[in-house]
Amino acid sequence: MRIAFLGLGLMGAPMARNLLAAGHALTVWNRSPGKAAPLVQAGAAAAPSAAEAAAGAELVITMLENGPIVEAVLFGGVDAAIPAGSIVADMSSIRPAEAQDHARRLAARGVHHLDAPVSGGTTAATDGTLAIMAGGEAEVFARAEPALRALGRPVLVGPSGAGQLAKLANQVIVGATIGAVAEAFLIAARGGADPARLREALRGGFAESRILDLHAQRMIERDFATRGRCVTHLKDLDNTLDAASRLGLGETPYTAITAGLFRDLIAAEGDPDHSALLLELERRNPARLEETTP
């Protein structure tokens, strides 16, 4: 396919590279033009504006920071440049209501829309193994699916906005589980358990998860180099609270508590990896994970 890829950050750059490797004709754009250089060397074309990148594209993929930025890019010229009948697949994480609004406005121009956020972090983006949660019409998804498969495992979960709801569900589960693992390990270590052996003992039981596997190891090694940004995770949790309110739900305590922990962590530590939620729990307690009490 002729694809335009807009946004070459930590996730977007490796995703664009995988589209090139799959043989697609790729034009890229980024606010900071220098980030396009490695992709140009790999065979992509670079455009000086998002609208010029989208001109003539069959599929426009956006991988941008938040909903307002997606709106500014899409409706700052891309919507007029992309041919009628083409598809916009927004793979950013934004509010479901924003995705639905974008779909309606693009449809008025004859352009199709999928909200298709991803999960898996930079490792999965590089390996082409992202979980891709799509919302939109089945026939539009079927047209975009071959290209999306170069990036990971796409699943159509429902109509417009459903992809973003699925991503929010993912972020609630991931965030709450990171917090639960950090708290459980802190309690066990305080009582004398060795954190590394605790992780080994729990593997394969009902507590097994990617979080126990990857994030617990980062906590043990105190390796909080950013792979999944705290500010991005907090944005998604705040979007979840907004979506729950719009859907008429009453209380969503797990989401609210986890959002509060991330908010305080960011205030104290900046923007480390989201596994650093351990640091916020340590800050609230007279203990550190590596300090055990016999």
Per-domain residue ranges for the chain? 2-158, 165-283
Residue 171 scores a pLDDT above 60: yes
Task: Please identify, in words, the CATH class of the domain defined by 2-158.
Answer: alpha beta
User: In angstroms, what CA-CA distances link 38 with 47, 105, 254?
Assistant: 14, 34, 41
Query: What is the per-residue pLDDT for 45?
Result: 97
Which position has the token pair 């004398």?
A: 192
pTM (2 d.p.): 0.91
Would residue 35 show up in a list of annotated catalytic residues for this protein?
Answer: no
Q: Does residue 203 have a pLDDT over 70?
A: yes
State which fold the 165-283 domain adopts: N-(1-d-carboxylethyl)-l-norvaline Dehydrogenase; domain 2 (1.10.1040)
Q: Which residue has the tokens 């060795």?
A: 194
Fold identical between 2-158 and 165-283?
no
pLDDT at 122: 87
Residues 6+ apart with CB under 8 A from 182: 219, 275, 277, 278, 281
Q: Hey, what's the torsion of the CAs at 165, 166, 169, 173, to 10 degrees?
A: -160
Of 24, 167, 215, 235, the active-site residue reads 167
**In whole angstroms, what is the distance from residue 170 CA to residue 132 CA?**
11
Residue 293's pLDDT band (boundaries 50, 70, 90)?
A: low
pLDDT score at 211: 96
The percent of residues above 90 in pLDDT, for the chain, comes to 94
DSSP-based three-state secondary structure for 45: strand
The 10s digit of each residue's pLDDT in 38-83 is 999 999 999 999 999 999 999 999 999 999 999 999 999 999 999 9
Residue 64 zone, left/alpha/beta (φ > 0; ψ -120 to 50; rest): beta
